[in-house]
Every structure is written in C-alpha cells, then in structure tokens.
Amino acid sequence: MPELPEVETIRRSLKKNIIGKKIAEVLVRKKKIVRGGVDDFIKGIVGKKIEKIERAGKLLIFQLLEEKFILVHLKMTGQLIFEKGKKVVAGGHKISDKDIEGLPNKYTHIIFRFTDGAKMFFNDMRQFGYMRLVDKNEKIKVENEYGIDPLKASFTEKVFSEIVSVRKKKIKTVLMEQGLIVGIGNIYADEICFKAGVRPDRSANSLSEAEKKRIHKECKNILKKAVKYKGTTFRDFRDGEGKRGGFSKFLKVYQREGRTCLKCRKEKIKKISVGGRGTRYCPVCQK
C-alpha cells in the first residue's frame, strides 16, 4: 500500500504537471470506484480547473473552483498515471512497465482528459481505492477523521508522548493507527522502530521518555528521507527512462527477515505478526 512518502511524492509530481489544467471529460469505467453518484461526480468536475493538490495522510485532495474537492484514496493497489505525449508520470502501488503500456488497460477505472490533450488514469487492480467529490464542509469533516501528520510542525515530542503514554497497544500498532498518527504504514513503522532501537511489539505505555523521544525523532527523519528519495514504490517515466523510488536502498529490516542485521552484524532479522501485519526486527538491536 502506498504510504505517506509515496502519496506525498505523487502530490508533488502531479502538482508540477496538472495544476491549472481544465478537465474536458471524465470517463468512469467502474462505478464502484466513485463514492456517491457517478452522474453528480462527472457533472461536478467537467469544465473545472485543478487549482491545488493537498494531502491529508494518505489521502490526496484535488481542489477545483467553487470550493469543490476530489478526494482520492489509493488504498492497497491504487495508481495515478499522468500521460501527455511521451511523458508519463506514475505513482502509487508498485509500478511496472505493463502498468503504463497500452493505457487504458483492464485495471483503469477512471480516465480524466484535459483540454490540452493530457490524461490522468486511476488504476486499481483490487478496486479498494476510491474517488469522491465533496464540498468544503465535507472535506473538513473527512480531514478531522485523521490523526496528526508526522511531517507537520504540530507533531511535537510532547504531543507524541501524550498519544503513546496512555495506550496499551503495541507501539507499531499505535504508529499505524490513522486516527492517531496519519500516514505511517507497515514499511515505515518497521524502519522507525528499528532505527529507534525499540521492539515493535512493545506496549506503547511501557516506553521510557528516552525511547519515546527516539521514536518521535525517527518518525520525522525517516519519512522526510523517504519523501526526498521518492519513497519505495514511486516511478517517474519520461521518454522511456524510468526512475524508481530510491528509499528501498535504505531499508534496514523491511522484507529482510532471515538475513543478517546490517547494524549489529550478529543476529538475523526476525519476522513476527503485530496487529495482523508482518513485522521485522532485530532481537539484538531492538529492546
């Protein structure tokens, strides 16, 4: 599933390519992807310009004129693919060459065509993602359902400590609970706990002040670094030259189970289940 760094990378890339473009046509090929009436969705956005693209956690928000907003959630396998001539920019769930060849394909459920000939495709293999057209009040209501964004200045040590100290759940579960802290998924939760030296299956309220401080610090550091390197699933195609998300080369524990820890060089990375999610950690480096 695309996490905060991937969604932020998509936001920044699309911002460069579609801000100011006018929507000429929208084709909905799979009605279940649109929440609310399809006719109202199409009628509400055709002829409008995209003024701004924001992000609330893993949710993308396209602002149109007249205070209308398109909410876009990629969920597990969603992808947004922008195409104009030979230029293709794709992000979301892991992108392969097949995803951008012969668009639209069988996984393309919504197509935006802009007045300058550019197109944007919403692809989703498992069809859990969605688009929804809302007004300003509905947008605010949806945003309020999310927890604090770890990349915002308001995510302070004090706020993080208040969130963690009163919860008995595992620290990884707390990090991934979107109503508390928004945007952190499985990949980055494992990496944050490793870098902070804390086992992901520790109870949140058992952490010392020093441990909470380290986790808070690594939430910011790792997410910022992941955004810098375009996450782990982003791919930007221009004239046939592909550039993959570069953060994968910095992963220390995620999907490294059974391999020697890169830090202590003594123990092998273990895999357990925390909150129903596959979780990796080093028994030596994390306590």
Give the mean pLDDT of 1-25: 92
Higher pLDDT, 45 or 85: 45
* 148, pLDDT greater than 60: yes
Q: What is the pLDDT of residue 24?
A: 98
Q: What's the pLDDT tens digit per position in 85-135?
A: 888 888 888 777 777 778 999 999 999 999 999 999 999 999 999 999 999
Active site residues: 2-3, 58, 277
Helix (H) or strand (E) holding 76: none
Q: What is the pLDDT of residue 65?
A: 87
User: Over the stretch 47-65, which tens digit does the pLDDT of each residue have?
Assistant: 999 999 999 999 999 999 8
Higher pLDDT, 157 or 94: 157
HEC letters along 34-57? EECCHHHHHHHHCCCEEEEEEEEC
Q: State both tokens at 121.
A: 């495709």
Amino acid identity of residue 235, one-letter, is R
Q: Average pLDDT for residues 185-214, to the nearest whole number?
A: 97
Contacts of 81 (CB under 8 A, 6+ apart): 88, 89, 90, 91, 99, 100, 103, 120, 121, 123
Check if the beta carbon of residue 279 is closer than 8 Å to that of residue 172.
yes
Structural fold of domain 157-281: Helicase, Ruva Protein; domain 3 (1.10.8)
Taking all residues of the chain, what is their mean pLDDT, rounded to a whole number?
93
What is the predicted pLDDT for the residue at 241? 53
**CATH classification for the domain delimited by 4-143, as one of 3.40.50.620, 3.20.190.10, 3.40.1130.10, 3.40.50.20:** 3.20.190.10
146 has pLDDT over 80: yes
Q: Identify the pLDDT of residue 239.
A: 52
Element containing residue 25 per DSSP (H, E):
strand 23-28
What local confidence, expressed as pLDDT, does residue 235 receive? Answer: 63
How much is the pLDDT for 191? 98
Model's pTM, two decimal places? Answer: 0.88
The beta-strand segments (E) located in 40-166 are 50-56, 59-64, 68-73, 78-84, 87-92, 108-114, 119-124, 130-135
Quick: pLDDT tens for 231-277. 887 666 555 555 677 898 999 999 999 999 999 999 999 999 999 99
**How large is the average pLDDT for residues 127-153?**
96
Read off the pLDDT of residues 62-84 as tens digits, 9 standing for 90 and up: 999 889 999 999 998 999 999 99
35-15-248 Cα angle (round to 5): 90
Q: How much is the pLDDT for 91?
A: 86
Over its C-alpha atoms, the chain yields an Rg (Å, rounded) of 20
Comma-separated ranges of CATH 3.20.190.10 domains in the chain: 4-143
pLDDT confidence of 278, banded at 50, 70, 90?
A: very high
Residue ranges, comma separated, of all CATH 1.10.8.50 domains in the chain are 157-281
